[in-house]
Structure 1
Amino acid sequence: MKKHQYETALEWTGNKGKGTVSYRSYNRNHSIHIKGKTHPIMGSSDPSFLGDPSRYNPEELFLSSIASCHMLWYLHLCAVNQITVTEYLDKATGVMSENENGSGSFIAVTLHPQVKVKDTTMITKATELHEEANKMCFIANSCNFKIGHAPKTTVH
């Protein structure tokens, strides 16, 4: 079995001078750096947890990780199966449930891929390949909930 290792560096940039003396004394801003990448990801918490709405939050990044991993496997499977995809757009949705103690977890994610293929003979197989992509996706395989799919396949 192959093993792949990943490394990121995260830096909290939200100290307003008093540190975490109280819940409102600091902001949630941080930057995520990945060696060899041009730009850091500017992050914060969700605005409902006092985050900066102009920055990416972990929940959005989690949802986008699921969607992009699915897309990459899907495109690979289409290429292997001689399905010519000309466009791919996904507007993924997710639901996180927050517990009384403030903890929480995602309980649902649904991908809504809108795929355009070269001709009508490819539509059925192109739609079926979403299920196979879900089985192959590294991120989906790491989740403890079922990921739903509502694909729409049309001809370019």
Structure 2
Amino acid sequence: MNITIREFDEADRADLQLLYLAFRKAAADAQVHEGKHQGPAVLCIPGLERASGRNRARWSILPDDQALNPDRTLDPPMAIYTAEVIWSRDGQKFIDNRYSRKHILRFDGGIDVAGSSSPHVIPPPGSAIDAVDPEEAFVASLSSCHMLWFLYIAADQGFIVDHYHDAAEGVMARNAAGKLMMTVVTLRPEVRFSGDRQPTRAELDELHHRAHEECFIANSVKSEVRCEPRESMS
């Protein structure tokens, strides 16, 4: 894959949509010589620097050849989501590869979450077992998105949900190309309802099916997402 690298300078930090569209438009100049990318279009800006009050986006990659189509309409994004990932060496040795992978995940609402590599990938103490690893966050993201759509659809249909508990699970394995990936994520939600109207099993399955179809995250990944609802214990 050969990708043209372009450099941009965006003075107005407030107008993130213009910055996004500038990168999407620039991607039309990229040349992709391999087969179709099987995932969604990805915008990666790994070198966002701040200097003299200006954001300098060093380079971008959009590996989906459809996204690189110059004739494709560049619709404005519905929303832009941000996260900060912060790690410091703090005097540790580094080149021996025994440094701590613990870091901070910072979100725009002001919350900091402890992050780390997975203990299945890097054994402790290199990984912190009391922190969230990317694989767990991936599973939680799919589960949370599914739940939020389920609650919305249930309310819209007049069902009263009292409690929702998903014991989700993700499996990492090698794909056909020999690359490690999250191949399957299985959602196992248990939902408790109240009120005179209780969903039948068929209605419950349809609520979950619709939630899966609408879930932004499920629509963005290559992993197989399964839903195996559990019987409520109430």
Q: Same fold (TM over 0.5)?
A: yes
Q: With the length of structure 1 as denominator, give the TM-score of the two structures.
A: 0.86
CA RMSD of aligned residues (A): 2.2
Provide runs of 4+ in structure 1 moved above 3 Å: 153-156
If asked which structure has higher relative contact order (CA below 8 Å, sep 6+), I would say 1
Moved more, 122-131 or 142-151: 122-131
In terms of fraction of residues, the more helix-rich structure is 1
1:65 aligned partner: 141
Moved more, 45-54 or 107-116: 45-54
Q: Would the aligned equivalents of 2:186 and 2:227 in 1 still touch at CA under 8 Å?
A: yes
For the residue of structure 1 that corresponds to 2:148, the secondary structure is helix
Which residue of 86, 93, 112 corresponds with 1:11? 86
Q: Measured at CA, do residues 63 and 12 of structure 1 come closer, stay the same or move farther in structure 2, by a change above 3 Å? A: same
Letter in 1 for 2:200: I
Match status 1:36 vs 2:113: no
Deviations 1:46-71 (A, max 9, x none): 11313111111111111000000000
Deviations 1:54-97 (A, max 9, x none): 11111111100000000000000001111111111000011011
Q: Would the aligned equivalents of 1:69 and 1:137 in 2 still touch at CA under 8 Å?
A: yes
For the residue of structure 2 that corresponds to 1:89, the secondary structure is strand
Identity %: 34
User: What residue ranges of structure 2 are gaps of 5+ in the alignment?
Assistant: 1-74
Match status 1:113 vs 2:184: no
In terms of fraction of residues, the more strand-rich structure is 1
Q: With the length of structure 2 as denominator, give the TM-score of the two structures.
A: 0.59
Letter in 1 for 2:107: I
User: What residue ranges of structure 1 are gaps of 5+ in the alignment?
Assistant: none
Q: Measured at CA, do residues 85 and 18 of structure 1 come closer, stay the same or move farther in structure 2, by a change above 3 Å? A: closer
* Paired residue total: 151
